[in-house]
Structures are given as structure tokens and as C-alpha cells.
């Protein structure tokens, strides 16, 4: 069996074209197909043609001769899942806030730090001072790190610019990054992330500028797919957030909301009202808001990394959302302040250990539900014919492995559109329940 080489230790600096690949020797395949066996398919194979899944099933059912001429990869009896979907990041930013993490350990709260000039506005100052090329240089290794952890689709928000040129610079950096990485990047405009220092006395004018100048410019340049707003007492109130999200919709940007993170600020209700694709955080969402989210088909994106970076021991209860019929995704929320991690499988561990998700729900939370949260549920997050050929090949056939042995789970191989884009340096079997 010939084994195609990974495109170097790192993903290529040029976006590779789609490829064809047959993956054999799969100990267990989690296709995450609706109604499929939660236990997955044993002794499976997957065929990817021209970047898309052409066939997936028991290897013994693979029609003879059907994969002649296609390069082959041996999964070594491992677990194959869809490439993971990271549906909420702030990965384009400059500067560290490690000192704030230390200050919180000494008793300061996130809100106090923000009031004394720290928090989001510090990252805004550092990001404004960085050039677009510098932002790209800072972000690319973070994307490589996500890929190495099995993440093949990544949502990326602006929001550390807070003026039109700086917001555009961040979104243009995302476009530059997309041209240079095999990962799919999904850009979101988060111009309404915080009140910038220059707008403290005139927030009405700020909201008006976002609606009348920033949103049209971003949409006109085709730089974003979603419009997000931080709806919170320390940021934009429900009325302001609603006006911005509706204006975004009028410009073709689908709504997302940072909702009820620190207090019940009306974010979940607003998400239902505007038909948001996702409502994110939801730590303080009132129980009464869940029926509206369910009716609107909004995905609840829960972000347990914040509990660690913010030192808050209370994880959101995912069971309440599942019981209300709301799809639940989990995400790292990777950013330099409230959640400084890119370990998406670890978020699955937290979801199982502290948020009440079952194993099957945890896998859905980092694949299909996360894909729905970025409007891609018909293309990524499942290993079924017609979907993109995005796979993570994990050591050991145990579906619990990447969550059970927690922290730093890395697949042996990561495949994006039929090409190997990341390969683990040490393929010794250390996971899968052994
Ligand atoms: O998702 N909640 C608002 N925004 C980010 C925090 C960003 C920061 O602290 O820099 C979040 O947690
Ligand atoms: Fe966030």
C-alpha cells in the first residue's frame, strides 16, 4: 500500500488543490450521519475523489477495482472522524494578556481588569498598532496548530480593530490567510465587540457609524459572512445589538451573538428574534429563553475554555439546551483574554465531564453542530458522500479516546479535501483508552 507523504511538517504555504485519497485500515469510522450507529463502523474505508467524500463504509464492502489509481493511506486501525469544526475564534490579534491571567489568580475579576484599561481594549491597542502582514504572521502558526489538532474549518472574527480601517485590516488579513492555508476560514464581522475609547461619550454615533459605514463597507468588499455583536452590560445593549444585527442582515451578513456571557442581557431572546445562526456563551441565559432559541433553529455555542481563563468554576449546563431541542456546539473561543486555548478536543472533554454531554453529543458538538453554527452543515462535519473530504485520523480505535485522555489530543493524520495537511511527528499509540 503506497502511503502519500504529508505536505511537509507544516501545511503548505500555498492553498493546495483538492485531492483524491482512499483511507483503509480504519478501526472505527464515526461518520456522524443522522441516525447512524453511535458506535461507528468497524473495519472501515473512506474514498475521497477530487476533494469530496465519494464512498464510506465497511472495507469489505468496497467495490473491487473502484479505487484503482487513487493514492492510499493506512489508518493503522485508528479512529476516523470528520475534520473538526471550530465555530468561534478571535484568532487574528496582536499582544499577550498573560499578566491579566496572573491578576485574576490574585483575585481581580475580568470586569475589573476591563474597567482599569485592560481586557479587550488592550488587545485593540496592540492590534491597531500591527500591520496587516504582522497580523498574518501572528495568525498563521495558530491556524497550523488548529490543523494539527484535527480542526479543518475555523470561524474567525474581527473585533480587535473597533474602527473601520482596523476592522477592514483584520478581515483582509483573514482573506490573506485563506489564500495560504488549506483550512477553510469563515470570516465574521464583530465591529460591535466593545466600545472603543474614542466613542465613550458618543455611543449613539458609534452604533450609527457601524450601521451606516462599517457594515456596508465590509459587505461591499465581501470580507465577512456573518455579523456578530457582544450583547452585554459592558458592551452593546439589546436594542443596539438588535439594530446592528438587522442592518447586517440587510447587507447579507447572517447574525451571530455573544449572548448572556456575564449577565442575562437579553442576548438569547434577541438571537431568537433575529433568527441568529448561533448564540454563543449563554452562561447566564434565562431558562425561559430556550424555547425561542429552539424555535428559531439557533445553535447554542458553549465555550468552556472561558471557565479556565476566567477562573469561574461554573460550566454551562448543556443538558438544558439539548432537552429543549437546541443543537449544542462547543468551541475554544480562542482569544488572548477570556479563553487562551486552541485545544478543541479538550473542550469535548469539558463538555462530557462538566456540561452533561454524552459521547455522541460531544462529537456532534465539534462536528455537525459546529458546522451548523457556521452555516456549513451541508458541506463539512460528516463523513458521507458529497461532503468535503475532511478527516481526522486518531490513534486507537476507541471513540472515547480523544476526550478520555484529556489535553493535547493530536491526530496521526489530518486530511483536508483529500490531501494530508498535517501528520503527527510521533505516531506511537498513546490514546484510545490504553
Ligand atoms: O468571546 N465576550 C467577548 N469577547 C471575547 C473576549 C475577548 C477578550 O477578552 O479579548 C469572548 O469571550
Ligand atoms: Fe468570543
Domains for the chain: give ranges and CATH numbers.
16-82+383-433 (2.30.40.10), 85-373 (3.20.20.140)
Q: Using only the alpha carbons of the chain, give its radius of gyration.
A: 21
* H or E stretch at 62: none
Sign of CA dihedral 48, 53, 59, 61: negative
Residue 150's nearest CA partner among 423, 377, 405, 368 is: 423
Q: Give the mean pLDDT of 190-200.
A: 94
Q: Give the mean pLDDT of 65-86.
A: 96
Portion of the chain with pLDDT greater than 70, in percent: 94
Sign of CA dihedral 31, 34, 39, 42: negative
Question: Among 337, 341, 347, which is best to mutate for testing ligand 1, by the most ligand atoms less than 8 A from CB?
Answer: 337
Q: Categorize the per-residue pLDDT at 33 as very low, low, confident or very high, splitting at 50, 70 and 90.
A: confident
- Measured distance CA(356)–CA(369) in Å, rounded: 16
**Per-residue pLDDT at 427:** 61
Q: Which atom of ligand 1 is nearest to the CA of 114?
A: 9
DSSP letters spanning 181-228: -SSEEEEEEEEESS--GGGTT-HHHHHHHIIIIIHHHHHHTT--SEEE
Q: Is 120 in the pocket of ligand 1 (CB under 6 A)?
A: yes
Q: Is 257 in the pocket of ligand 1 (CB under 6 A)?
A: no
- Give the distance (Å) from ligand 2 centre to CA of residue 285: 16
pLDDT digits (tens, 9 = 90+) for 340-351: 999 999 999 999
Q: Categorize the per-residue pLDDT at 136 as very low, low, confident or very high, splitting at 50, 70 and 90.
A: very high
Predicted TM-score (pTM) above 0.85:
yes
Specify the 3-state DSSP secondary structure of 93. coil
Q: Is 310 in the pocket of ligand 1 (CB under 6 A)?
A: no
Q: Is 338 in the pocket of ligand 1 (CB under 6 A)?
A: yes
Phi, psi of 274 (to 5 degrees): -95, 0
- Give the distance (Å) from ligand 2 centre to CA of residue 421: 27
Amino acid at each position: 500500500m503506497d502511503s502519500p507523504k504529508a505536505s511537509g511538517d507544516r501545511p503548505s504555504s500555498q492553498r493546495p488543490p483538492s485531492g483524491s485519497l482512499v483511507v483503509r485500515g480504519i478501526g472505527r469510522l464515526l461518520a456522524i450521519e443522522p441516525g447512524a450507529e453511535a458506535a461507528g463502523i468497524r473495519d472501515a474505508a473512506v474514498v475521497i475523489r477530487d476533494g469530496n467524500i465519494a464512498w464510506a463504509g465497511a472495507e469489505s464492502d468496497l467495490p473491487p477495482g473502484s479505487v484503482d489509481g487513487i493514492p492510499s493511506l493506512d489508518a493503522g486501525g485508528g479512529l476516523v472522524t470528520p475534520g473538526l469544526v471550530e465555530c468561534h475564534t478571535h484568532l487574528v490579534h496582536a499582544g499577550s494578556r498573560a499578566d491579566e491571567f496572573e491578576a485574576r489568580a490574585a483575585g481581580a475579576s475580568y470586569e475589573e481588569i476591563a474597567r482599569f484599561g485592560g481586557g479587550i481594549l488592550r488587545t485593540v491597542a496592540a492590534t491597531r498598532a500591527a500591520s496587516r502582514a504582522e497580523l498574518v504572521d501572528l495568525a498563521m502558526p495558530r491556524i497550523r496548530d488548529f490543523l494539527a489538532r484535527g480542526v479543518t474549518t475555523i470561524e474567525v472574527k474581527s473585533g480587535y480593530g473597533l474602527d473601520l480601517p482596523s476592522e477592514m485590516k483584520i478581515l483582509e488579513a483573514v482573506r490573506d490567510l485563506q489564500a495560504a492555508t488549506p483550512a477553510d476560514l469563515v470570516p465574521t464581522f464583530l465591529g460591535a465587540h466593545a466600545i472603543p475609547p474614542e466613542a465613550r461619550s458618543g455611543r449613539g454615533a458609534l452604533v450609527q457609524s457601524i450601521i451606516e459605514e462599517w457594515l456596508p463597507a465590509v459587505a461591499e468588499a465581501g470580507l465577512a459572512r456573518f455579523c456578530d455583536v457582544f450583547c452585554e452590560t459592558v458592551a452593546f445593549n439589546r436594542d443596539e445589538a438588535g439594530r446592528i444585527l438587522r442592518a447586517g442582515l440587510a447587507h447579507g451578513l447572517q447574525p451571530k451573538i455573544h449572548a448572556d456571557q456575564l449577565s442575562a442581557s437579553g442576548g438569547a431572546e434577541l438571537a431568537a428574534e433575529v433568527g441568529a445562526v448561533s448564540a454563543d456563551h449563554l452562561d447566564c441565559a434565562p431558562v425561559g429563553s430556550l424555547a425561542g432559541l429552539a424555535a428559531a433553529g439557533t445553535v447554542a455555542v458553549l465555550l468552556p475554555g472561558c471557565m479556565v481563563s476566567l477562573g469561574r468554576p461554573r460550566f454551562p449546563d448543556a443538558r438544558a439546551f439539548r432537552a429543549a431541542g437546541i443543537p449544542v456546539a462547543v468551541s475554544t473561543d480562542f482569544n488572548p483574554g477570556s479563553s487562551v486555548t486552541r485545544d478543541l478536543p479538550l473542550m469535548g472533554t469539558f463538555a462530557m465531564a462538566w456540561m452533561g454531554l454524552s459521547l455522541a453529543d460531544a462529537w456532534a458538538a465539534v462536528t455537525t453542530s459546529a458546522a451548523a453554527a457556521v452555516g456549513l452543515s451541508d458541506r463539512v462535519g460528516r463523513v458521507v458522500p458529497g461532503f468535503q473530504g475532511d478527516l481526522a485520523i486518531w490513534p486507537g480505535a476507541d471513540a472515547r479516546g480523544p476526550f478520555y485522555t484529556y489535553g493535547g489530543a493530536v491526530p496521526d493524520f489530518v486530511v483536508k479535501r483529500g490531501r494530508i495537511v498535517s501528520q503527527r511527528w510521533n505516531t506511537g499509540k498513546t490514546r484510545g483508552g490504553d
